Amino acid sequence: MKAEYLNPFVHATKNVLETMAQTKLTGQKPYLKEGVSTYGDVTGIIGMASESVEGSMTISFPSACILQIVSRMLMEEPKATIDHDIVDAVGEITNMICGGAKAEFGKLGMSFNLATPTMVTGKGVEIHHHSDVPIIVLPFQTDCGTFVLEANLASK
């Protein structure tokens, strides 16, 4: 995956969570993913395709982190456990981040079609991306905990 493809995801992630959840993010050093298991307890997955590039994005949150983030988004007390509302919120976050990244890619002259996000719950769930290119993991630190965004985009 080309390095210039990372910035749209970083900018969109910061914009969405700082705006919607009043949560400051610090990007950590990206790394190549090893294995196929999810990082967190709730993961959103969305496919992306353009005329020349295709791939996917996932965002994965540990329970404690996403419960706090959703609490801030909804301006409610944090829930005790992952439920349907939390999973739905991860779907919305996934959509907003990917939509923001799509807009950033547009500035680079790339137009993407986005799939409908899929959410999975459970730690260590296996996710197999469609592309054979290495998956880049972008960790983000917040005062709620650490979560990761994974991206893989490859030329068709």
Domains within the chain, CATH numbers bracketed: 3-155 (3.40.1550.10)
Residue 109's pLDDT is 84
pTM comes to 0.93
Residue 153's pLDDT is 87
Looking at the chain, the number of H-run helices and the number of E-run strands are: 3, 8
When pLDDT is cut at 50, 70 and 90, the band that residue 1 belongs to is low
- Please check the confidence at residue 142 and state whether its pLDDT lies above 70: yes
Across 3-9, average pLDDT: 86
User: For residue range 61-89, what is the model confidence (pLDDT) as tens digits?
Assistant: 999 999 999 999 999 999 999 999 999 99
> Which bin fits 6, alpha (ψ -120 to 50), beta or left (φ > 0)?
alpha
Close Cβ partners of 144 (under 8 Å, ≥ 6 residues apart)? 23, 64, 65, 66, 68, 69
| Burial bucket for residue 75 (CB in 10 Å: 0-12, 13-18, 19+) | exposed
Residue 30 near residue 13, CB atoms below 8 Å: no
18 C-beta neighbours (distance < 10 Å), count? 13
User: For residue range 89-111, what is the model confidence (pLDDT) as tens digits?
Assistant: 999 999 999 999 999 988 888 88
